[in-house]
């Protein structure tokens, strides 16, 4: 049998138990996110977490245990679609799952006249480009419906994703919509 660390350390000469990895009361340093050589820069999310740790330890009552998931340092779940978009951006791929969701919801977001003549085309740098079938329809939509389209898209997208909606004449014809 190989020599290993003894299972339990004996008390030292003072009679106190040796302090190990399991101390009775954790302190703020146990919860802080610190820079490491692999990640020397803290993200804004890390800084927010560290501020939450200081709030948490400002409210801790001695003798009471700390909640396993205290609200002060709890992180909101990041939507999976946002994670996918970040990964696609890092890979320099111009695709957005959000744009596909918008295209599916498009007929319910805009008036029927607009849904027949225009559709979401591309989204980059916070600008949504809507493709329109012809320049005359583009003029009509810009004059009558652009404000309504911007409000509907911003309400659908949420969290400041779309700064502006621009209309473009599309060289590729729009899909045929037959009357039902």
Q: Are 118 and 155 in contact (CB under 8 A)?
A: no
For the chain, where are the alpha helices, taking DSSP H only? Answer: 44-59, 80-90, 97-109, 112-117, 135-144, 146-157
The domains of the chain, with CATH numbers, are 22-76 (no CATH), 94-169 (3.30.300.180)
The pTM (predicted TM-score) of the whole model is: 0.49
pLDDT tens per residue, the chain (180 residues)?
556 665 666 666 665 655 555 555 678 888 888 998 988 898 888 899 899 998 988 888 887 888 878 888 888 777 777 788 788 888 887 666 778 888 889 999 999 989 988 999 888 888 899 999 888 999 999 999 999 999 999 888 876 788 899 999 986 555 545 444
C-alpha–C-alpha distance, residues 23 and 83, integer Å: 37
Q: Are 64 and 56 in contact (CB under 8 A)?
A: no
């Amino acid at each position: 049998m190989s020599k290993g660390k003894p299972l339990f350390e004996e008390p030292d000469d003072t009679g106190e138990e040796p302090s190990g990895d399991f101390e009775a009361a954790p302190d703020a340093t146990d919860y802080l996110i610190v820079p490491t050589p692999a990640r020397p820069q803290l993200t804004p999310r890390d800084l927010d977490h560290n501020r939450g740790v200081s709030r948490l330890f400002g409210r801790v009552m001695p003798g009471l245990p700390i909640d396993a998931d205290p609200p002060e340092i709890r992180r909101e779940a990041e939507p999976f679609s946002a994670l996918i978009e970040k990964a696609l951006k890092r890979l320099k791929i111009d695709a957005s799952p959000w744009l596909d969701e918008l295209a599916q919801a498009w007929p319910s977001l805009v008036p029927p006249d607009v849904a027949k003549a225009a559709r979401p085309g591309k989204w980059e740098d916070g600008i949504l480009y809507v493709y329109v079938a012809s320049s005359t329809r583009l003029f009509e939509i810009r004059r009558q419906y652009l404000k309504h389209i911007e409000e509907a898209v911003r309400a659908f997208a949420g969290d400041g994703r779309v700064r502006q909606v621009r209309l473009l004449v599309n060289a590729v014809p729009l899909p045929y919509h037959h009357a039902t």
